[in-house]
A and B are shown apart, each in its own frame.
Chain A
Amino acid sequence: MITFREVSKQFKAGRQWVEAVRPTSLHVEKGQIQGIIGFSGAGKSTLLRMANLLELPTAGEVYIDGQELTGLSAGELREARRSIGMVFQHYNLLSNETCAANVEFVLKAAKLPGRERKRRAEECLEIVGLADKAKQYPAQLSGGQKQRVAIARALANNPKVLLCDEPTSALDPVTTLSILEFLEKINRELQVTIMLVTHEIQVAKRLCSRVAVMEGGAITEQLDMTLPEIKPVTPLGQFLFDTAEVSSSSVWRRGEGYRG
């Protein structure tokens, strides 16, 4: 569903060039939840943002559902982006618009007629359990609720793919868990392929069917989370998976316990 073929990205930082993503290939099958994990600065966001060309690759190609995005005209790219939802760490909602209007924005982008927009926006807020907040402004909501509105917005145009850049990194453990469960439900019920960037191993463990470990702009290993035992071979992979067992899992469980 999502294919990166030898994509790379260099940024110019002052006089120097930063190699944010080194030539990387990755294929995500339909219906999967692909995690990308690594430390800050590893190039995770840059790789994710190349999936909808928010970041234009310096070299390489990106395919979504067989269509080469890197070869499209501006208009065709806009069209293609309508079937790729995106969720951000800081929600990125329109602060001067109501929750309903936030969802309607992307429906309007997809040229849905006015009356249907209203109906579909209501439906999307209903799906994320925020139908009663339709007329409220983002500032009146909690972090978790804002992220739900953002997810409703990302789902409004029935996307094939959902890109998530640290969607729970600004949230507390309990809220994180509910958002992750929700993403899982979307993946299961709506057959949406998800690519999710995180620096928290627990998030990856909880949600992903596959996890790519990223370091220094490259994917160093790809782990199948459906196997009974996960055996990372790279030092970073081992570090992430091992320390997670001891340190943060107790915090995690407490979060889980909270929900009863």
Chain B
Amino acid sequence: MDSILALQSEIIKAIEQTFTMVSISVAAAIIVGMPVGILLFLTAPGNLRANRPLYSVVSYAVNLVRSFPFLILLVALIPFSRMIVGTAIGPLAASVSLSVAAIPFYARLVEQSLRDVPKGVIEAAVASGASMKHIIWGVLLSEARPGLVSGLTVTIISFISYSAAAGTVGGGGIGDLAIRYGYQRFETEVMAACIVILVVIVQLVQWIGSFAASRLDKRK
């Protein structure tokens, strides 16, 4: 117990760091990953803007980034992080790599959710003379809402866990704290405390995500 109290401020700092890393990467997933997912959906064969070369290129790029083990991606992107945030260590630098990983991760989930929108509903919108922008906002994103939120929940939870690996480049965070104290210094209590915190956060995120998704779903 004493060790936990002694580390109280460090634990709070670690939570803040995890929060920073996860929010930045999830924001990137939404701001960039979602449009990429929409692009993948629209350009897929048989869809509204079918374009096989473009689809293949984007799809290949998404697969490429997703197939990298995260730790390797993290190291490989050190020069890039330095270029963007001016440093290769700390939560901000780690956020760059996390964002690069989160964008294709969420893009695929967005593409998948959009595929679940019934073709006929999209067709009815096309037949009404709606513009592409209107169809994207008013049909695709609206009808796929529950799936988009579930996908976002999966992304947040995955990146809470990925952010632990970011500790290796001094990213910090709760996962990093657990590894440093629990694994390297055998302070089991600290590790246990970190794990409890992570479990609580993940449960909370999942609970909120599931609740929001079901509230948004009017299909019954």
Contact = CB atoms under 8 A, between A and B. Distances in A.
B-side interface size class: 20 to 34
B123 interface: yes
A78 B120 contact: no
Contacts of A109: 125, 128-131, 134
Contacts of A79: 129
A205 interface: no
A93 B142 CA distance: 12
Nearest to B139: A94
Interface string A80-114: 11101010101011111100000001101110000
A54 interface: yes
Interface string A134-159: 00011110000000001001000100
B145 interface: yes
A92 B121 contact: yes
A109 B125 CA distance: 9
Contact of B118 (A81, A92, A140, A163): A92
B118 to A, nearest CB: 7
Contacts of B126: 54, 81
A78 B120 CA distance: 17
Nearest to A156: B128
A140 B127 CA distance: 25
A240 B130 CA distance: 38
B111 interface: no
Contacts of B218: 95-97, 137-139
A97 B146 CA distance: 13
A-side interface size class: 20 to 34
B186 to A, nearest CB: 52
Contact of A105 (B120, B125, B146, B219): B125
B120 A94 contact: no
**Chain A CB within 10 Å, residue with most, of B127, B139, B145:** B127
Interface string B108-150: 0000000000101101111111110010001100110110000
Contacts of B143: 94-96
B39 to A, nearest CB: 19
Contacts, number: 81
B124 A92 contact: yes
B10 interface: no
Interface of A is mostly: mixed
Given A88-B120, A96-B218, A80 B129 contact: yes
A81 B142 contact: no
B128 A106 contact: yes
A94 B130 contact: no
Interface of B is mostly: helix
A52 interface: yes
B68 to A, nearest CB: 36
B219 A95 contact: yes
Interface string B190-220: 0000000000000000000000000011111
Interface in A130-184: 137-140, 150, 153, 157, 163
Contact of B127 (A84, A96, A139): A84
Given A88-B120, A105-B130, A96 B125 contact: no
A96 B145 contact: yes
Contacts of A137: 218, 220
Given A92-B118, A94-B142, A96-B219, A105 B123 contact: no
A93 B128 contact: no
A139 B219 CA distance: 6
Contacts of A140: 220
Contacts of B146: 96
A78 B127 contact: no
A124 to B, nearest CB: 13
Nearest to A95: B219
**Chain B CB within 10 Å, residue with most, of A96, A105, A137:** A96
Contacts of A82: 128-129
A54 B142 contact: no
A95 B138 CA distance: 12
B51 to A, nearest CB: 15
Contacts of B219: 95-96, 139
B154 to A, nearest CB: 20
Given A92-B123, A153-B124, 5 more contacts: A54-B126, A81-B128, A88-B124, A105-B130, A110-B129
9 contacts: A54-B126, A82-B128, A86-B128, A90-B120, A94-B121, A94-B142, A106-B128, A109-B134, A150-B124
